Copies of this chain bind each other. A is one copy, B any other.
Amino acid sequence: MAQHPLRVIPLGGLGEIGKNMMALEYRREIIVIDAGVLFPEQDMLGVDLIIPNISYLIQNRDRVRAIFITHGHEDHTGALPYVLRDLKVPVYAPRLALGLISVKLKEHRNLRSAELVEAQPGKEIKAGPFRVDYFRVAHSIPDAMGLAIRTPLGLVIHTGDFKIDHTPVDGHPVSLAELARLCKDGVFLLLSDSTYAELPGYTPSERVVGEVLDRAIGEAQGRVMIATFASLISRVQMIIDAAFKHGRKVGTVGRSMVNNVKMAREMGYLTDPGNVLVQMSELRKLPSDRVVVVTTGSQGEPTSALVRIANGEHREIQIVPGDTVILSSTPIPGNETVVSRTIDNLFRQGAEVLYDKVALVHVHGHASQEELKMMLNLTRPKFFIPVHGAHRHLIAHTMLAHSLGVPQENTFVLEDGDVLELSDAGGETVDQVPAGHVYIAGKHIWDMKSVVMRDRQTLSRDGIVVVMLTVDKAGRVVKRPAVVSSGFVDISESTDLLERTSEAAWNAAGNGNGDITAQVKESLGSFLYKETGRRPMILPMSVEV
């Protein structure tokens, strides 16, 4: 009998960054790895979130056995509230991720119906023909893990997001020995994080940033404010340690920072033996040289605490000369402009500002090329699929695999929706399932080509002109059409233009032959373009009297 293949189906995060999700399938049984969201770009108007297209999973819902989450970041977990509406399967996750997921599900009111199970290294989980073990990796959130998945074809290693940090702040380095032991009988397939596959060398240890922050806090004369990702608990730990050393107290600002620090403290991911963490009300009573504030907003998010502080609009915190503000982060691609503006505004308010261009105040959470090679070397996989990254990252990672001796025909650069069938004999993309962007906007879920999105584009560029035609039973326009506009021209400067538009509409409507609204639409289109150089949306409405 021929061998059954293992089917690998990326549903998100391959060929683009974010919303990571992947399905593994063997003999019609499916497990899912991660379920992330992507945050929309500026030109995706009115979109709150982007989630993977899971219609393949929904169609085959009775064959899905479980979802395995590698760590608690939103680009690996954020789609769960939507996915679990349709898939009633257990979700396995490391402890911290489980805590974060619970909070999200509660907000969406589907916590009660969810089956959440804590995963731990060494405790194998059985799901259909798959047996899944977790192993620790280092990443920019505690409790990040990779997966060792035993399948009938052999071992599949999925690294999750990882870097190799020999001195991580949480004291859990990637256990290379443990990984080597798991892989001792050979690895059928390696799926490895490609986010930084373009970067030569090693990613520095989180400790390096700790030393910079420690020095900055030690040297500061006044207050110190540090903005970073709310999930970057190890960074907060180092800030607590440095504050303790230099006799300062630490307060938190920004909803997600306050909540995450509180939760991490309760769950034991943050230790504070010196009782450094205090309420902001208590912090305010201290002299400025005894104060450290940890805040959200390191990505220049418009409503975040740091941005409001930078704009002088924060209720509680005003910048005063002598303050030191540290942006302990790097702008995520797309955020460069807003982050720059925030830095400028902080300088304007009189702060000393430290940021990635002028000081080593951040290291990222993904492996660079030498670490990726180490992972390839430790696992020595038969097949290799780069995951997590834009297409060029996957290509760069594949080159590394080739340089380490994985044969070209055994590496696969996939795109979301590809169905790759792998067996001992080799691999082949045999099918495509629906993939791509599904937009969450308010309470609605839309697909990419929705006319709604297209209309918003037009509206946002040139606005709208509404023409109201009053017609009689014979379809004749009986009075001068009313015209209003929005987002089109400055009305105070252009009452005349709207009047002439009304006249043009009346003329175009003519004597009621043919499709009046179409005639008005077309004729006003040319009229307004000639007058203004713009192409607003034209919306004629007719009312019969």
A478-525 with Cβ < 8 A to chain B: 482, 484, 486-491
A331-348 with Cβ < 8 A to chain B: 333-334, 336-337, 340-341, 343-345, 347-348
Q: Could you say which residues of chain B place their CB within 8 Å of the CB of A347?
A: 391-392, 395
For the complex, would chain A's binding face be called helix, strand, loop or mixed by DSSP majority?
A: mixed
Contact A455 B446 (CB under 8 A): no
Q: Could you say which residues of chain B place their CB within 8 Å of the CB of A336?
A: 333-334, 336
Q: Could you say which residues of chain B place their CB within 8 Å of the CB of A458?
A: 487
- Is A545 close to B, CB under 8 A? yes
- Is A452 close to B, CB under 8 A? yes
- Is A456 close to B, CB under 8 A? yes
Instruction: State which of B358, B450, B452, B541 has its C-beta within 8 Å of the C-beta of A482.
Output: B541
| Known contacts A455-B487, A539-B484, A543-B482; is-contact A533 B442 (Cβ 8 Å) | yes
Contact A444 B391 (CB under 8 A): no
For the complex, what is the distance from the CA of A32 to the CA of B123, rounded to whole Å? Answer: 74
- Is A378 close to B, CB under 8 A? no
Q: Could you say which residues of chain B place their CB within 8 Å of the CB of A459?
A: 456, 459-460, 463-464, 486-487
Which one of A40-48, A127-135, A184-192 contacts B? A40-48
- Is A462 close to B, CB under 8 A? yes
- Is A534 close to B, CB under 8 A? yes
Q: Which residue of B lies closest to A479 (CB)?
A: B543
Q: Which residue of B lies closest to A42 (CB)?
A: B42
- Is A461 close to B, CB under 8 A? yes
Q: Which residue of B lies closest to A43 (CB)?
A: B42
Contact A392 B461 (CB under 8 A): no
Q: Could you say which residues of chain B place their CB within 8 Å of the CB of A532?
A: 442-444
Contact B198 A543 (CB under 8 A): no
| Known contacts A46-B462, A486-B455; is-contact A396 B358 (Cβ 8 Å) | yes
Contact A466 B466 (CB under 8 A): yes
- Is A537 close to B, CB under 8 A? yes
Contact B452 A488 (CB under 8 A): yes
Q: Could you say which residues of chain B place their CB within 8 Å of the CB of A491?
A: 451
Q: Could you say which residues of chain B place their CB within 8 Å of the CB of A466?
A: 466, 539, 541
- Is A311 close to B, CB under 8 A? no
- Is A417 close to B, CB under 8 A? no
A396-441 with Cβ < 8 A to chain B: 396, 441
Q: Which residue of B lies closest to A415 (CB)?
A: B348
Q: Which residue of B lies closest to A450 (CB)?
A: B490
Q: Could you say which residues of chain B place their CB within 8 Å of the CB of A482?
A: 541, 543
Number of copies: 2
- Is A468 close to B, CB under 8 A? yes
- Is A251 close to B, CB under 8 A? no
| Known contacts A452-B487, A462-B46, A463-B46; is-contact A392 B333 (Cβ 8 Å) | no
- Is A390 close to B, CB under 8 A? yes
A236 to chain B, nearest CB (A): 25
Q: Could you say which residues of chain B place their CB within 8 Å of the CB of A475?
A: none
- Is A470 close to B, CB under 8 A? yes
Q: Which residue of B lies closest to A345 (CB)?
A: B391
A339 to chain B, nearest CB (A): 9
Q: Could you say which residues of chain B place their CB within 8 Å of the CB of A334?
A: 336-337
Q: Could you say which residues of chain B place their CB within 8 Å of the CB of A42?
A: 41-43
| Known contacts A344-B391, A358-B198; is-contact A442 B486 (Cβ 8 Å) | no
Q: Which residue of B lies closest to A391 (CB)?
A: B344
- Is A108 close to B, CB under 8 A? no
Q: Could you say which residues of chain B place their CB within 8 Å of the CB of A176?
A: none
- Is A81 close to B, CB under 8 A? no
Q: In the complex, which of the residues A337, A343, A468, A491 has the most CB atoms of chain B within 10 Å of its own CB atom?
A: A337
| Known contacts A466-B541, A482-B541, A490-B450; is-contact A392 B343 (Cβ 8 Å) | yes
A72 to chain B, nearest CB (A): 25
Q: Which residue of B lies closest to A540 (CB)?
A: B484
Q: Which residue of B lies closest to A357 (CB)?
A: B198
Q: Which residue of B lies closest to A413 (CB)?
A: B347
A514 to chain B, nearest CB (A): 21
Contact A489 B452 (CB under 8 A): yes
Q: Which residue of B lies closest to A339 (CB)?
A: B333
Q: In the complex, which of the residues A15, A392, A491 has the most CB atoms of chain B within 10 Å of its own CB atom?
A: A392
Q: In the complex, which of the residues A16, A198, A347, A491 has the most CB atoms of chain B within 10 Å of its own CB atom?
A: A347
A189 to chain B, nearest CB (A): 23
- Is A125 close to B, CB under 8 A? no
Instruction: State which of B455, B461, B488, B541 has its C-beta within 8 Å of the C-beta of A463.
Output: B455
A379 to chain B, nearest CB (A): 25
Q: Could you say which residues of chain B place their CB within 8 Å of the CB of A444?
A: 489-490, 532-534
- Is A353 close to B, CB under 8 A? yes
For the complex, what is the distance from the CA of A353 to the CA of B396, rounded to whole Å? Answer: 11
Given contacts A46-B487, A543-B543, 13 further A-B contacts (CB under 8 A): A42-B42, A46-B460, A46-B462, A198-B357, A344-B392, A347-B392, A353-B392, A446-B490, A456-B463, A456-B487, A459-B463, A466-B541, A470-B543
Q: List 9 A-B contacts (CB under 8 A).
A: A16-B344, A46-B462, A198-B357, A341-B390, A451-B490, A456-B487, A484-B539, A486-B537, A545-B545
